[in-house]
């Protein structure tokens, strides 16, 4: 019975949103209400996720599991950020600067590390694999677009070279368009499966 | 050692049982308790092994030339239902297709078994011959004389002499038993001497590890074959000689009792006996013999294995050979090398990126043609009137802020020049303070202070895509009470009321959400995009379709945009560092590419050599 109720609710809400979307602005109030409910439910789910995360780390500290020090760091950082937001307010300039001063350098350092790792991986890729069709295709395209992005050939301002560059720069367009069409078809199919009750993640 | 002695006694008993019925139990009665226990324990083990091997597969005993019957099957035969018996009888009697098929299969199986046995016997004979000749050569090279068996007589205990007499390996055997003299004893390695329970298990384990066929039965088959050959070649005179064992077994029991106190001595004597078989001094354990056999057997020309099997065997050999060697040291050295190489790579990249900041004294604007999409964006901003509200969405992560702030900062300054009202919003939690940071780093000039003060940060928009759709339907209700009222946005009730929507997105997912959920609600408001270089290609289709009115992506286009504005804030320094970094990366790829060519050539050479 619970399963059937979940299926009926999911299909009913899905159909209502689709119909309301096509009959805008006539059904805007209903659509807005359903969307607000969805946002509230999503926020509650996020809250449950945060509480679960905190409990998991708390258990790790209590049981003194391996690397429990990191769990302690997570809880401490969360407590400080949370208290700062409660006391000072999320829009407070000091609070925002404080958070940005912590988060931006950390994430930028990670990105720099990623660039270094990718360079190393690219070097090792050719060294270990030798010349295979895959490595050749990857190598030529990577080198080509790295050199194009440097901007040396564009700075020459030769009409013939510019035409070639323009052609090369439009090559990824075809791939991008294909990926987007694939994503759209996948989303459409998933939506239809949910509406027809074939896809039932909520029932599991 | 105790197990070996017990198995020796057991083997002796088994052979004597064949010859003269159950005579041995009398001798057993005289055995000391310890040896009897050992004997019983070993007998039960042998029985268990034999029963399991017999039930698993039918072992061919070449010595007798008969196939060992499967007791389990015969017993099961009693429980066979009547209908199955009839079917079997019919298959046996009638010469129809099914009966023929069964007969042919059986005949083929038996011929195959014979072939395999012959091949194995031949390999074993070759191997033992080579082993003996090698050992003799080695002994001669080391200055050792082959052992004089008679000289050893003084050292050989009585129990061993008795055993040898029973096996017919003593030099003073009656006439007609010449081939069982000491010189031949080496060829006919008695099964009881060359095998202990532990050694058999070790050899079987090795056999399994080598991946040889029928790994469970080959060692046993060789052993059986050895004893079978002994039985086949035993002359009748020996049979008569064995009848004397009845009386001698009593002596053997007494001698064995003494032996239980001299186990160390026995070990030494066994080793001497082994050595005498090979004609060399020093210990030659049966384990070493079996190892040598398998080691050489893999190289035997008669052995037919697939290339993949050979390579696997070689890999296993290498693994076994590497066992116990300081592999950890090699791994540590490799790690150290990798670490050093990474460090060098990092230093090289850092030097390339930092160098332009130190070396360039004058800032020069970038040259080139501004792309069409960037030109369209510039035109859209230029068309804005002073004071018109512009929605700026900061949907990027802090990790991308270094790139995004360089590109978006230009547009923020351009918008500030137009004196528009900026409204900031984000669907990322960190986007709230990244928006503030963006304004701080972009509007440092005092001329923009008024614009900075008028800018409104609406904060975080919750709900992801649902939140975006809700925002597109009713912009005001998507935020907490009071936020919209305090933002001084009286003229804006709907997202279409903004003069421009500028999205700063680092991922396709985020950009798609805005384009697909909010885009349809924008009737006469242009939507523009600032994206990271990596996602620019994915945004191009939206530009082609007209869903995006303009776009700016990457440092190169940002430099051109800046040059078009006549500004030189980010110009040469950052752009040059970016170029230098890319150049080093491209060079490293190229080096790897060339090294890959060498790797390829080496691989080809190895393949050709293998062929």
The CA distance from B430 to B596, in Å, is 43
A19-33, B77-91, B379-393, B411-425: which range is least confident on average?
B77-91
| pLDDT > 80? residue B247 | no
Three-class SS of residue B456?
strand
| pLDDT > 80? residue A74 | yes
| pLDDT > 80? residue B375 | yes
**Domain map of chain B by residue range?**
2-306, 372-567
- Closest Cα in chain B, distance from residue A155 (Å): 5
pLDDT average, residue stretch B375-391: 92
| pLDDT > 80? residue B145 | no
- Closest Cα in chain B, distance from residue A64 (Å): 30
Q: Which of A91, A108, A130 comes nearest B459 by C-beta?
A: A91
Q: What angle do CA B109, B113, B116 make, to 5 degrees?
A: 135
Q: Give the pLDDT confidence score for residue B118 in this predicted structure.
A: 75
Kindly list the residues from chain A whose CB atom is less than 8 angstroms away from the CB atom of residue B603: 130
Residue at which a domain ends, from A41, A65, A89:
A65
pLDDT average, residue stretch B45-62: 45
Q: Give the pLDDT confidence score for residue A52 in this predicted structure.
A: 96
The CA distance from B147 to B271, in Å, is 13
| pLDDT > 80? residue B115 | no
Contact A172 B593 (CB under 8 A): no
Name the pLDDT band for B529 (thresholds 50, 70, 90).
very high
pLDDT average, residue stretch B321-346: 76
- Closest Cα in chain A, distance from residue B487 (Å): 13
Please give the ipTM for the structure prediction.
0.84
Structural domain count of chain A? 2
Q: Give the pLDDT confidence score for residue B219 in this predicted structure.
A: 44
Q: Considering the domain boundaries, does residue A94 fall inside one?
A: no
Q: Considering the domain boundaries, does residue A75 fall inside one?
A: no
Query: Tokens for B353?
Result: 């990126």
Query: Tokens for B561?
Result: 């945009």
- Closest Cα in chain B, distance from residue A7 (Å): 20
| pLDDT > 90? residue B30 | no
Higher pLDDT among residues B216 and B336, named by residue: B336
Q: Which of B434, B537, B593 comes nearest A139 by C-beta?
A: B593
Residue at which a domain ends, from A14, A39, A65:
A65
Kindly list the residues from chain B whose CB atom is less than 8 angstroms away from the CB atom of residue A31: 473
Q: Considering the domain boundaries, does residue A90 fall inside one?
A: no
Kindly list the residues from chain B whose CB atom is less than 8 angstroms away from the CB atom of residue A115: 349, 581, 585
Domain around A2: 1-65
Name the pLDDT band for B44 (thresholds 50, 70, 90).
low
Q: Considering the domain boundaries, does residue A149 fall inside one?
A: yes
Beta carbons within 8 Å of B284's beta carbon, 6+ residues apart: B135, B271, B274, B275, B277, B278
**Domain B372-567: assigned CATH number:** 3.40.50.10160
Residue A34 to residues A9, A16, B472: CA-CA distances in angstroms? 12, 9, 14
CB B532 within 8 A of CB B523: no
- Closest Cα in chain A, distance from residue B478 (Å): 8
The CA distance from B299 to B313, in Å, is 11
- Closest Cα in chain A, distance from residue B457 (Å): 8
Q: Residue B235: left if φ>0, alpha if ψ -120 to 50, beta else—which one?
A: beta
Contact A43 B589 (CB under 8 A): no
Residue B97 to residues B84, B93, B216: CA-CA distances in angstroms? 18, 12, 35
Q: Which of A35, A103, A129 comes nearest B398 by C-beta?
A: A103
Per-window interface: B 528-547 vs A, CB < 8 A: 533, 537-541, 544
Q: Considering the domain boundaries, does residue A168 fall inside one?
A: yes
Beta-carbon pairs below 8 A across chains A and B: 172
Q: Which of A99, A131, A154 comes nearest B596 by C-beta?
A: A131
Under DSSP, the state recorded for B146 is P
Kindly list the residues from chain A whose CB atom is less than 8 angstroms away from the CB atom of residue B341: 120
CB B500 within 8 A of CB B390: yes
What value does the mean pLDDT of chain B take?
Answer: 69
Of these ranges, B43-47, B101-105, B484-488, B555-559, the one predicted with the greatest mean pLDDT is B555-559
pLDDT average, residue stretch B474-500: 78
Residue at which a domain ends, from A65, A94, A111:
A65
Q: Which of A42, A110, A116 comes nearest B345 by C-beta?
A: A116
Higher pLDDT among residues A157 and B185, named by residue: A157
Q: Does B469 touch chain A (CB under 8 A)?
A: yes
């Amino acid at each position: 019975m619970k399963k059937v109720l979940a299926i009926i609710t999911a299909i009913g809400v899905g159909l209502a949103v689709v119909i309301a979307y096509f009959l805008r602005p006539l059904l805007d109030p209903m659509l807005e209400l359903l969307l607000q409910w969805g946002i509230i439910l999503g926020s509650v789910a996020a809250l449950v996720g945060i509480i679960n995360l905190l409990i998991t780390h708390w258990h790790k500290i209590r049981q003194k599991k391996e690397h429990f020090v990191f769990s302690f760091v997570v809880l401490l950082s969360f407590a400080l950020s949370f208290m700062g937001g409660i006391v000072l307010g999320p829009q407070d300039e000091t609070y925002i600067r404080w958070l940005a001063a912590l988060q931006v350098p950390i994430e930028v350092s990670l990105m720099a590390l990623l660039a270094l790792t990718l360079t190393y991986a690219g070097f090792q890729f050719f060294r270990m694999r030798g010349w295979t069709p895959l490595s050749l295709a990857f190598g030529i395209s990577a080198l080509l677009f790295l050199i194009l992005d440097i901007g040396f050939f564009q700075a020459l301002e030769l009409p013939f070279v510019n035409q070639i560059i323009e052609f090369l720069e439009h090559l990824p367009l075809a791939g991008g368009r294909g990926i987007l069409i694939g994503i759209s078809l996948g989303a459409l199919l998933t939506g239809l499966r949910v509406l027809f009750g074939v896809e039932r993640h909520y029932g599991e | 050692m105790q197990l070996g002695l017990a198995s020796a006694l057991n083997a002796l008993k088994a052979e004597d049982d064949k010859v003269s019925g159950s005579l041995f139990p009398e001798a057993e009665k005289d055995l000391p308790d310890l040896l009897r226990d050992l004997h019983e324990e070993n007998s039960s083990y042998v029985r268990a092994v034999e029963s399991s091997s017999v039930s698993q597969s039918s072992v061919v005993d070449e010595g007798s030339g008969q196939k060992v019957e499967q007791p389990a099957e015969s017993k099961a035969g009693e429980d066979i239902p009547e209908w199955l018996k009839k079917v079997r009888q019919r298959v046996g009697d009638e010469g129809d297709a099914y009966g023929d098929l069964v007969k042919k299969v059986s005949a083929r199986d038996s011929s195959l078994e014979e072939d395999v046995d012959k091949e194995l016997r031949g390999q074993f004979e070759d191997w033992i011959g080579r082993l003996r000749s090698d050992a003799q050569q080695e002994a001669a090279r080391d200055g050792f004389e082959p052992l004089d068996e008679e000289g050893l007589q003084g050292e050989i205990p009585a129990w061993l002499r008795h055993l040898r007499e029973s096996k017919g390996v003593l030099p003073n055997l009656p006439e007609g038993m010449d081939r069982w003299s000491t010189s031949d004893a080496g060829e006919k390695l008695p099964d009881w001497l060359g095998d202990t329970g532990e050694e058999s298990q070790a050899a079987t384990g090795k056999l399994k590890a080598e991946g040889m066929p029928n790994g469970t039965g080959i060692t046993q088959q060789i052993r059986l074959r050895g004893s079978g050959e002994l039985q086949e070649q035993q002359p009748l005179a020996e049979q008569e000689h064995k009848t004397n064992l009845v009386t001698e077994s009593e002596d053997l029991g007494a001698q064995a009792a003494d032996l239980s106190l001299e186990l160390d001595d026995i070990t030494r004597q066994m080793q001497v006996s082994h050595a005498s078989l090979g004609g060399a001094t020093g210990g030659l354990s049966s384990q070493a013999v079996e190892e040598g056999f398998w080691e050489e057997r893999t190289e035997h020309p008669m052995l037919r294995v697939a290339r993949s099997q050979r390579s696997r065997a070689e890999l296993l050999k290498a693994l076994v050979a590497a066992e116990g060697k300081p592999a950890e040291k090699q791994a540590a050295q490799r790690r150290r090398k990798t670490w050093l190489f990474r460090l060098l790579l990092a230093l090289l990249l850092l030097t390339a990126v930092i160098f332009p900041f130190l070396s360039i004294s004058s800032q020069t604007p970038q040259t080139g043609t501004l792309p069409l999409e960037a030109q369209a964006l510039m035109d859209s901003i230029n068309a804005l009137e002073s004071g018109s509200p512009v929605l700026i969405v900061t949907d990027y992560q802090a990790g991308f802020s270094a790139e995004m702030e360089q590109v978006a900062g230009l547009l923020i300054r351009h918008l500030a020049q137009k004196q528009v009202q900026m409204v900031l919003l984000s669907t990322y939690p960190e986007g709230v303070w990244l928006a503030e940071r963006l304004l701080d780093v972009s509007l440092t000039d005092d001329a923009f202070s008024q614009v900075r003060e008028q800018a409104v940060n609406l904060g975080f928009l919750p709900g992801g895509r649902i939140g975006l759709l809700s925002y597109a339907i009713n912009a005001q209700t998507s935020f907490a009470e009071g936020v919209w009222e305090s933002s001084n946005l009286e003229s804006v009730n709907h997202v279409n009321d903004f003069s421009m929507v500028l999205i700063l997105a680092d991922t396709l997912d985020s950009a798609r959400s805005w384009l697909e959920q909010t885009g349809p609600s924008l009737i006469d408001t242009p939507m523009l995009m600032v994206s990271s270089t990596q996602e620019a290609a994915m945004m191009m289709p939206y530009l082609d379709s007209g869903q995006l009115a303009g776009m700016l992506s990457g440092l190169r286009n940002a430099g051109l945009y800046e040059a078009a504005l006549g500004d030189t804030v980010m110009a040469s320094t950052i752009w040059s560092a970016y170029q230098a970094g890319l150049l080093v990366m491209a060079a490293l790829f190229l080096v790897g590419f060339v090294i890959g060519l060498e790797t390829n050539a080496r691989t080809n050479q190895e393949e050709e050599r293998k062929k």
